[in-house]
Amino acid sequence: MEQQDKFYKGLFWGAAIGAAVGTVMGLLFAPYKGRETQQMISGKVKSMLDKATDLYESNELDGVYHNDAKTRSQEIIDTARDEAKKILNEANSIIRDIKGQTKAKEN
């Protein structure tokens, strides 16, 4: 058991020292300033998000991603939407009935 504890302690310290050295080396040998690097990274992330959005919204890939799970989930969503509308209509009907009874009692 003591052997295993030493192993994990060594692993932790090795990872911590490696991360610290890697950070220092990265800062020392970075080809661009911090602001430039941030702008490059944010530009690439925005570009990738735009591409992902375009792929998601394009109709070309609908056939590729069309499967039983997608069809079934859409059916469940549609059914839930229909049931919610029914419940809402019933609730509105009950509220109108209650308001009508209240007005009748007042008169």
- 3-class SS string, the chain: CHHHHHHHHHHHHHHHHHHHHHHHHHHHCCCCCHHHHHHHHHHHHHHHHHHHHHHHHCCCCHHHHCCHHHHHHHHHHHHHHHHHHHHHHHHHHHHHHHHHHHHHHHC
State the pTM of this model. Answer: 0.36
Is the confidence at residue 92, as pLDDT, over 90?
Answer: no
Non-local (6+) Cβ contacts of 40 within 8 A are 32
Is the confidence at residue 61, as pLDDT, over 70?
Answer: no
Residue whose pair of structure tokens reads 């509308």 in the numeric block: 85
pLDDT in tens, 12-58: 999 999 999 988 888 778 787 878 877 887 888 888 888 887 776 76
Let me know if 94 is exposed, middle or buried by CB neighbors in 10 A (0-12, 13-18, 19+): exposed
